[in-house]
Structure 1
Amino acid sequence: MRRGQGHEQTPSERTLSERLASFAVRSAEDGVPDDVAASVQQRVLDVLGLCVAAHRLPTSAAAIGHVLDQGGHAQATAVGVPQQVTAAQAAFTNGVLAHSLDYDDTHLPSVLHPSASVVPAALAAAEHVGATGEQTVRAIAVGLEVAVRLGMAGYDERLGNSVFFEHGQHATSITGAMGSAVAASLLHGADERGVVDALGLTASMASGVIEANRTGGTVKRLHCGLAAQAGVTAAQLVRRGFTGPPTVLEGRFGFFEAWLHGRFFASAVTDGLDPDGRCRDWSVPGIFFKPYPANHFTHAAIDAGLAFRARGVRPEQVSSITVGVASAVIRTIGQPIEVKRAPATGYQAQFSGPYAVVAGLLGGSGLGLGLDDFTDDLARDPRRRALMARVEVVADPRCDAIYPHQLPAVVTLRTTSGEELVEEVLTNRGGPARPLSDDELAVKFADNVAARLAPPAADAVRRSVADLRGASDVRALLTPLSRLSVPEETP
């Protein structure tokens, strides 16, 4: 890693935020590549399905209740809320919903989840100002790209991990807030100076601590909502005259100093960006979709469990299971092992390596495992706990060599008859090496909105996403989502 530049900038130099602002405004004006736009449309559908599905959670009801208590002008739609709320509160609500099920997309190797903050922020801002669908797609694309690039500035190739993560920081909400600010600013018509100012303001609002992944608590469900809200709020404040420092990223007291102690990779922010703002290398199409509603570190273990099931292994045949993963992920899905073997809730099960492989072995819904496979009752099910008690989570050198470009697992199952079976899952389903098709993403969306969004409304959302680039505004996309067809319920 190298020390970031902390010296005073001369007029002839361009700071990192100025380079990003040039890229942002150029992309908003000239458009984005078709594959990037298509990827954005997929992510919009994915996020909206997650927002509907998250209404099953008591924390979602709590977040919505909090928003409704605030009052304010009717500006934008919060999914499942009949009355409109302020744009910032809509961004908060939908960001909380989008991230609450741990089913949102992931960028690797930065290991952050960009869409759950950027998409809600952009949709709220777009609805508020009456932006077109094409403007919204461009803004989302740029916001995602900025979030990923800032996340990659904290990725240390030698360490093989995100330094944000090593410090206990949630890059998802930290860089997601910055990407959200850029997206919202573009939709408010910001020029390059306005984007720089929005980044300068948002850096003072971006935050996130990830300890809940280890030992519990539901606070992480708030992170993307707070990030989206921060981005929209910053864009609005800049319009009213607030300004930020142009050196907010690399400055002596800037973003990278605060979060990464001044040691970061500036080239990750600007690689592939021409001096005129054109982007030659977009990250957006390579962001991984999640096929399963669990922490992404568990997905390869789920695939292994599904593979053992397909091979005919029955639960009563299992003597022991060893889940080999990258060393860096053990603290999230394997420690404390006594907690991971006996998750108290469905939410804790989403961060459990033992639960992941056992659930895969038992089989489930959706694309292999779905939302109905991560309930409180199943987490406490005696049969599952008996199997989880036989699972170890250990470091595997092959996985260490691959992580975090993939989140692999090498899983060894020993049967009661002494047979040893091995499943190596070295690439993640949902990423560029094993992409989800449009049909598979449609299955995920349908599974997420089942029994909560009336079929005509679900069809309207799908059509609106498909036609988003030609839409005059985003109202046709969001209006069908304002009312859900069933009351909220607890798993």
Structure 2
Amino acid sequence: MSPIVARLAALAHGPVPEEVRRGIPARIIDIVGIAVRASTLDTSRAAMAFASDQATAPQATAIGAGRAVSAAEAGFVNGVLAHSLDYDDTHLPSILHPSASVVPASLAVAEWRDVPGAAVIDAVAVGIEIAVRLGMGGYDPVARQSVYFERGQHATSICGAVGSAATAARLMGASAEVIAHAMGIACSMGSGIIEANRAGGTVKRLHCGWAARAGITAAQLAVRGFTGPPTAIEGRFGLFQAFLGDQANPEAVTHELGHTWEAAGVFFKPYPANHFTHTGIDAAIGLRERGVRPDDIAHAVLAVAPPTVRTIGEPLDQKRNPDTGYQAQFSGPYTVAAGLFGPISGGSLCVGLADFTDALARDPARRALTARVEVVGEPEFTDIYPFHFPSRLTVRTTDGDTLTEEVLVNRGSPARPLSARELAAKYGDNVAGLVDDAVARQMHETLADLDRAASTAKLLAPLADLGTPP
């Protein structure tokens, strides 16, 4: 049987089913909107300054940077932005965020090489598919957990580098053989640990940018003659052995490859927070809609799938008292509080970006509520996780009543899809105050109709210079 990288390269070089292609423009729009909003972060400015320091050829747009940079550096900046708000899409059960590296890599190479929009759609589709398939190679169906995750590895960046390499090489017109070499090279470039999820730090924001940069670089080297090992994935010293040891499942990567497309089922995120928190937010919103207010709550218990407790519930004191909005995105108690407090200043989203400021993370009223929220593992949810991230929120009110809301299925999944209107509202919320309304509408229309675009040379150019949010 052919090595895995050769089989993935054949997929990457081949046609993409129309039913898969139809969903790709929405993913591109989602990532672009997120990147625009994230451009205001200090870490984003640091990434832009880093890219500028490289003094590279002006090949592609780095969103918000004010100037064009090389394709690799544009992929880096835009990938950092795409993952910095924890608002990017997720594949389950691999628990991997594929679009935040693959889309920036694709758009950067597209602008550099000026390929038709239809080619970008195809390249994004195969890149996402390859990234999530490699993620599935690290999924343990018995333990119901990502082995990457258990070993402290960030599958999103490791697998995203390889998916981005396939995307970039395809857009450069590479043969299947050269695409295989690009992926083989990228297997030596994938990296990322997830300790920041637990203990803090902003390094995780770099991961998708570094993956996009690595993927583009690997493709550029492959088309110039560098080669990767044919068994770069499953070999004795390949990617799986290095990151997963003896726990890899290579069969999951190639099972029905080209017939069943995992890319079609990637979840959109309705809230800008760690995906484990989302059903808890929905449960909190449900209680609020039943008339429960923060001051009514004497005590609350957020029950979640046991493997998620360490990310959103431990250490509990730290999760109850996040110092920054970024830390609040990984806090079960805080996100429950955000759902119970309701929209900020009449905003269109029940829980949105406005909830995750440093000031609100330290807000006395919110902290008073988070101090009354505990997070526990619920064994009953084990059979659902990680295909969804179920939650049950039980509150005891100051009147002595006990109320419960249970949410078993994530919004944004194929089972509870976000509507076109909801996705448009998310994009609008992300670009508001940073992009002129007319430009924002035109960008949305252009990306939605990307299949018809003859040129992508200036696709993101209108987003090079952005405003300051109100």
- Normalised to the residue count of structure 1, the TM-score between the two structures is 0.94
Partner of 1:97 in structure 2?
Answer: 81
Partners in 2 of 1:90 and 1:366 — Cα distance? 31
Letter in 2 for 1:304: A
Partner of 1:242 in structure 2?
Answer: 226
1:134–1:468: 8 Å Cα contact kept in structure 2?
Answer: yes
Match of 2:462 among 449, 463, 480: 480
Partner of 1:267 in structure 2?
Answer: 251
Match of 1:82 among 66, 80, 90: 66
Q: In the alignment, is residue 293 of structure 1 matched against residue 285 of structure 2?
A: no
Match of 1:171 among 152, 155, 158: 155
Match of 1:252 among 223, 236, 243: 236
After superposition, give the CA deviation of every residue in 1:57-108 in whole Å (9 maximum; x if it has no partner): 1111111011111111110111112321000000000000000000000000
Match of 1:415 among 384, 397, 410: 397
Partners in 2 of 1:477 and 1:393 — Cα distance? 45
1:460–1:477: 8 Å Cα contact kept in structure 2?
Answer: no
Partner of 1:400 in structure 2?
Answer: 382
Partner of 2:325 in structure 1?
Answer: 346
2:165–2:182: 8 Å Cα contact kept in structure 1?
Answer: yes
Partners in 2 of 1:251 and 1:476 — Cα distance? 41
2:113–2:457: 8 Å Cα contact kept in structure 1?
Answer: no
Deviation of 1:459 after TM superposition, in Å, equals 1.1
Partner of 1:191 in structure 2?
Answer: 175
Partner of 2:98 in structure 1?
Answer: 114
Partners in 1 of 2:295 and 2:139 — Cα distance? 43
1:252–1:262: 8 Å Cα contact kept in structure 2?
Answer: no
Letter in 1 for 2:230: P
Partner of 2:116 in structure 1?
Answer: 132
1:399–1:410: 8 Å Cα contact kept in structure 2?
Answer: no
Q: In the alignment, is residue 323 of structure 1 matched against residue 278 of structure 2?
A: no
2:282–2:339: 8 Å Cα contact kept in structure 1?
Answer: yes
Q: In the alignment, is residue 156 of structure 1 matched against residue 140 of structure 2?
A: yes
Q: In the alignment, is residue 22 of structure 1 matched against residue 6 of structure 2?
A: no
2:147–2:247: 8 Å Cα contact kept in structure 1?
Answer: no
Partners in 1 of 2:450 and 2:388 — Cα distance? 31
Deviation of 1:53 after TM superposition, in Å, equals 0.2
1:408–1:425: 8 Å Cα contact kept in structure 2?
Answer: yes
Give the match's secondary structure for 2:23: helix
Give the match's secondary structure for 2:388: coil
Give the match's secondary structure for 1:299: helix
Partner of 2:30 in structure 1?
Answer: 46
Deviation of 1:439 after TM superposition, in Å, equals 1.0
Deviation of 1:366 after TM superposition, in Å, equals 4.1
Residue ranges of structure 2 left out of the alignment (5+ in a row): none
Deviation of 1:367 after TM superposition, in Å, equals 2.9
Letter in 2 for 1:281: T
Partner of 1:224 in structure 2?
Answer: 208
- Normalised to the residue count of structure 2, the TM-score between the two structures is 0.98
Letter in 2 for 1:210: I
2:112–2:457: 8 Å Cα contact kept in structure 1?
Answer: no
Match of 2:450 among 441, 449, 468: 468
Give the match's secondary structure for 2:240: helix
Give the match's secondary structure for 2:413: coil
Deviation of 1:37 after TM superposition, in Å, equals 1.4
Partner of 1:6 in structure 2?
Answer: none
Q: In the alignment, is residue 369 of structure 1 matched against residue 351 of structure 2?
A: yes
Partners in 2 of 1:370 and 1:312 — Cα distance? 21
Letter in 1 for 2:207: H
Structure 1 vs Structure 2 CA RMSD: 1.1
Q: In the alignment, is residue 357 of structure 1 matched against residue 341 of structure 2?
A: no
Deviation of 1:476 after TM superposition, in Å, equals 4.9
After superposition, give the CA deviation of every residue in 1:149-204 in whole Å (9 maximum; x if it has no partner): 00001001101110000001100101011100000010011111111101111011
Deviation of 1:263 after TM superposition, in Å, equals 2.6
Partner of 1:7 in structure 2?
Answer: none
Deviation of 1:387 after TM superposition, in Å, equals 0.5
Partners in 2 of 1:461 and 1:398 — Cα distance? 45
Give the match's secondary structure for 1:422: strand
After superposition, give the CA deviation of every residue in 1:271-321 in whole Å (9 maximum; x if it has no partner): 112xxxxx1111112100000000000001110111111000011110111
What is the aligned residue count?
467
Give the match's secondary structure for 2:415: coil
Partners in 2 of 1:167 and 1:367 — Cα distance? 35
